[in-house]
Amino acid sequence: MSASAQQVQSKPPSWLIAACLLAVYVIWGTTYFAIKVGIEGAPPYFLIGTRFVVAGGLLLAWQLIRGRPMPTAKQWRGASLLGFLLLVVGNGGVAVAERWVSSGATVALISIMPLATALWSGVFGEWPRRVEWAAIILGGIGAVVMLMGRDLQGNLVGTLVILLGTTCWSLGTVLARRIDIPHGPTGFGAEMFAAGLLALTVSAVLGEHWTLPQSPRVWEAWVYLVVFGSMIGFSAYRFVVERASTTLASTYAYVNPPVALLVGWWLGNESFSPNILLGLPIVLGAVAMLAWIQARGQGYSPRTAAASLPLTIAKAEQP
């Protein structure tokens, strides 16, 4: 039996799953605006790199204090791959895109994540059924409606970066149950720490200026992203993926977009075109349809979780 299969056999208490889901639902919905604030005073990949090096390093240090074994060389490679897909390209893409796109419009487009994940699941041998294709096509229509709005149509580079990040995050989510990585906080910490180092490498290659933020507002956003977005939010997401179901974990896609839209409007004075407000419900309806089909056909058992279709979101985290 593989290490991944052994990790998902024991089901955690329902209250713990519910608490992790609540953390992902609420916290990840707010991190999009926090990223928007963070890049006001720090380059995107420098922000991402320092965030995940600190968050991952703290988790690994805590595990060392508790006497837990560190990852093997093979597990570090797996953690690096997942960290690159989920956090460097996925979450990092959000940070880059929010230079040009509002936080609400960003998370609205990211809501197509479950549909992208369904297609990646097909690449690994679990192609959607006919009724599932109907949900994917419906979600695609909603995405097209949003892409035609002024929020995204006028920011081609930002939109393409978001789509690339969505593609890599969904691929990482599918691979997460197929790669040998340490169980629990050690694995989550290794993914974040490796991703942080990779993001700093990307930052150096791109020639980003490494300077500490001067604004207290930017520091507050960075601390929030480290503690809540990474250590709590990302760990909670990966815990549910690892110990329950990718489908269940990814239900955050229902909640994150409205939370992000509300926070962006309330704290950031962001406005949105009618296309976002029209297309987002279509996408969320398609996501709900896809989840309902999966729940009826497979349930949320660990045995079928590896083949289930996740619904975007973080974080990455978001982001």
Between CA 68 and CA 294 the distance in angstroms is: 36
What residues of the chain score a pLDDT lower than 70? 1-10, 150-154, 245-248, 250-251, 253-254, 294-295, 297-319
Predicted pLDDT of residue 305: 35
- From the list 95, 141, 80, the residue with the least C-alpha distance to 317 is 95
Is residue 195 within a helix (H) or strand (E), and if so which, with residue range?
helix 185-206
- Which phi-psi region, left, alpha or beta, contains residue 198 (left: φ > 0; alpha: ψ -120 to 50)? alpha
pLDDT score, position 85: 94
Query: Of 162, 201, 186, 163, which Cα lies nearest the Cα of 84?
Result: 201
Residue matched to tokens 């097909």: 122
Q: Where are the domains of the chain?
A: 12-305
Sign of dihedral through CA atoms 29, 34, 37, 42? negative
Q: How far apart are CA 49 and CA 258, in angstroms?
A: 27
Whether 94 contacts 111, CB under 8 Å: no
> Do 143 and 271 touch, CB atoms closer than 8 A?
no
pLDDT (0 to 100) of residue 246: 66
| Number of Cβ atoms within 10 Å of the Cβ of 283 | 27
Residue 154: per-residue pLDDT? 62
Q: What is the pLDDT of residue 4?
A: 44
Contact (Cβ atoms closer than 8 angstroms) between residue 11 and residue 302:
yes
DSSP 69: P
